[in-house]
């Protein structure tokens, strides 16, 4: 039995300890905002936060998350539904096309801004490694700059 927290709720998992967190979230906890894109840690569609840092759920085995605190895209807004500034910036810049990669992109962007509150274009390009097949990179970049501004203003 592996116990951990997802979006501040305690959860336990008693299946195969090698099961990737991705499939526990999706198939067992029905948190489907975390997406399957490649399964090899390459695309970032499955990005979640494990103890506050962006991590790929497809390559994180159940055994590795015991006792950890996990946040998924569903848990990013406040419990009262106030969006995280990064989510709001994504809306203000109208980022998504198909939308499939965007949960992972947002989780990666939040981590980037937590560690680097005022990233340059180069910082963004080197840290934002998630694939967007629809090609929303231009707007992702703008949204990160916008979120950086609002977060630093503390609004």
Give the chain's count of helices (H) and strands (E). 5, 5
The DSSP line for 16-51 is -TT-BHHHIIIIIS--TTSPPS-SSSSS-TTEEEET
Of the candidate spans 34-42, 73-81, 112-120, 142-150, the one that interacts with ligand FES by CB under 6 A turns out to be: 34-42
Applying CB under 8 A, among 15, 82, 118, 152 the residue interacting with another protein is 15
CA 131/CA 45 separation, integer angstroms? 8
Of the candidate spans 49-57, 110-118, 130-138, 146-154, the one that interacts with another protein by CB under 8 A turns out to be: 130-138
CB of 5 to ligand FES, least distance (A): 21
Site for another protein in 32-71 (CB under 8 A): 32-40, 42-43, 45
Question: Using the rule CB under 6 A, is 39 a contact of ligand FES?
Answer: yes
Residue pair 13/2 in contact (Cβ under 8 Å)? The answer is yes
112 binds, among another protein, ligand FES, none (CB under 5 to 8 A by kind): none
Query: Which secondary structure element, helix H or strand E, spans residue 10, and what is its range?
Result: strand 9-13
CB atoms within 10 A of CB 19: 16
Footprint on this chain of another protein (rule: CB under 8 A):
15-16, 19-20, 23, 26-28, 30-40, 42-43, 45, 72-74, 76-77, 83, 87, 90-91, 94, 96-103, 106, 121, 124-126, 128-141
């Amino acid at each position: 039995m592996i116990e951990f927290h997802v979006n501040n709720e305690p959860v336990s998992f008693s299946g195969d300890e090698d099961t990737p967190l991705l499939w526990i979230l999706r198939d067992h906890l029905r948190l489907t905002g975390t997406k399957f894109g490649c399964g090899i840690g390459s695309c970032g569609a499955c990005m979640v936060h494990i103890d506050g840092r962006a991590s790929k759920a497809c390559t994180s085995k159940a055994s590795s998350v015991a006792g950890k605190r996990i946040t998924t895209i569903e848990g990013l807004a406040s419990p009262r539904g106030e969006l995280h500034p990064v989510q709001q910036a994504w809306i203000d810049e109208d980022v998504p096309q198909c939308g499939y990669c965007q949960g992972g992109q947002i989780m990666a962007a939040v981590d980037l801004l937590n560690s680097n509150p005022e990233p340059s274009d180069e910082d963004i390009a080197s840290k934002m490694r998630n694939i967007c097949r629809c090609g929303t990179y231009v707007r992702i970049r703008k949204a990160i700059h916008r979120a950086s501004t609002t977060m630093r203003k503390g609004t």
